[in-house]
Amino acid sequence: NVPALRVQAVEKYYGSRENVTRALDGISLDVAQGEFVAVMGPSGSGKTTLLNCISTIDRPSAGHILVDGQDVCGLRRGELARFRRERLGFVFQDANLLDTLTARENIALALTINHVAPREVSSRVEAVAARLQISEVLDKMPHEMSGGQRQRVACARAIVCDPALVLADEPTGALDSRNSRKLLECLTQMNEAGATIIMVTHDSFAASYAHRALFIKDGRLINELSRGAAPRGR
Ligand code: ADP
Ligand code: ADP
């Protein structure tokens, strides 16, 4: 069985030869299809760099990253845009909705740019909205919604195309505890519907929704904790 994600001896350096920052220092990990994984660690430990390398926004200095067995580091520029659009879903700390479009239009746009037939678009938008309990806000503009509703609309947009991998960077960072809980329930729903999720978070409550938490420090994987299991040192 091919893992959803394989990170193989990835290193990432920033800066010049004289003044190098080793943001990732030999990270290897596998994420199985359908897994929900939290990535934790102190500020500056390399979490965002790792996520950016997985999402092909950034390129590792060494090592390989395979999504569904495909080495994404070898993709050319034109293929990269397509890979991100078709295979990945993104959830950020800020919902990043287009504020001149309704919730429905924001979600539909993800389908339209992936060339989904127009007659299928509205039924797919409504199905994902029902699942994430945002049907009642579909015709609202972002400024008419609460922060929590906007964030759930962003989740719907991230998964409406059935991406292989959902990448979430501090998705609860701007939410109060009630909305955090709702968002985490959304992510769990997405996961139960088949999405593999990788979530960077500082928040151990958020991490408790994951099957497994990975701890990164100084660009290295130092520990991991599986739900219901004792910590495993590395
Ligand atoms: P903070 O939220 O204070 O910034 P950190 O980012 O340092 O916390 O760590 C996030 C969470 O990960 C904390 O709950 C911390 O206890 C836990 N953690 C960090 N490193 C390890 C480790 N090596 N093993 C187990 N848990 C860890
Ligand atoms: P985290 O997300 O865990 O807070 P980051 O991945 O943002 O950590 O950063 C890891 C290290 O790499 C830090 O020392 C940071 O200063 C450095 N870094 C991140 N991005 C850049 C960049 N574009 N240029 C130079 N250094 C960077």
pLDDT average, residue stretch 217-222: 96
Task: Identify the bridge partners of residue 212 per DSSP, sorted by sequence position.
Answer: 37, 226
Residue nearest atom 11 of ligand 2, based on CA coordinates: 23
Q: Which residue out of 39, 40, 217, 227 has the highest number of ligand 1 atoms within 8 Å of its CB and is therefore the one to mutate?
A: 40
Residue nearest atom 20 of ligand 2, based on CA coordinates: 49
User: What is the side-by-side order of every strand in the sheet holding 20-31?
Assistant: 20-31, 5-15, 62-67, 70-71
The alpha carbon of 81 and the centre of ligand 1 are apart by a number of angstroms equal to 34
pLDDT band at 228 (very low <50, low <70, confident <90, very high): low
212: three-class secondary structure by DSSP: strand
160: three-class secondary structure by DSSP: coil
Among 132, 133, 206, residue whose Cα is nearest residue 172:
206
Going by their DSSP bridges, the two strands 88-91 and 62-67 should be labelled as unpaired
- Tell me the pTM: 0.82
Phi, psi of 105, deg, nearest 5? -70, -35
The alpha carbon of 100 and the centre of ligand 2 are apart by a number of angstroms equal to 33
- Over the stretch 27-47, which tens digit does the pLDDT of each residue have? 999 999 999 999 999 999 999
CA 102, 104, 33, 3: dihedral to nearest 10 degrees?
-60
Q: Over 90: is that where the pLDDT of 65 sits?
A: yes
- Over the stretch 199-210, which tens digit does the pLDDT of each residue have? 999 999 999 999
Q: Which residue out of 24, 43, 49 has the highest number of ligand 2 atoms within 8 Å of its CB and is therefore the one to mutate?
A: 49
The alpha carbon of 51 and the centre of ligand 2 are apart by a number of angstroms equal to 11
The alpha carbon of 26 and the centre of ligand 1 are apart by a number of angstroms equal to 20
Q: Is the ipTM of this complex over 0.90?
A: no
Residue nearest atom 2 of ligand 1, based on CA coordinates: 202
Cα–Cα distance, 214 to 194 (Å, whole number): 21
The answer to whether 140 touches 148, Cβ cutoff 8 Å, is no
Average pLDDT, the chain: 91
CB of 43 within 6 A of ligand 2: the answer is: yes
pLDDT band at 3 (very low <50, low <70, confident <90, very high): very high
The alpha carbon of 83 and the centre of ligand 1 are apart by a number of angstroms equal to 32
Q: Of the ligands numbered here, which is closest to the C-alpha atom of 21? A: 2
Give the 3-state secondary structure percentages of the chain, helix then strand then coil, rounded to 5. 35, 30, 35
The answer to whether 53 touches 42, Cβ cutoff 8 Å, is no
Neighbours of 22 (CB within 10 A): 16
User: Computed from CA positions of residues 181, 182, 188, 190, in that sequence, does the dihedral angle turn out positive or negative?
Assistant: negative
User: Computed from CA positions of residues 17, 6, 90, 220, in that sequence, does the dihedral angle turn out positive or negative?
Assistant: negative
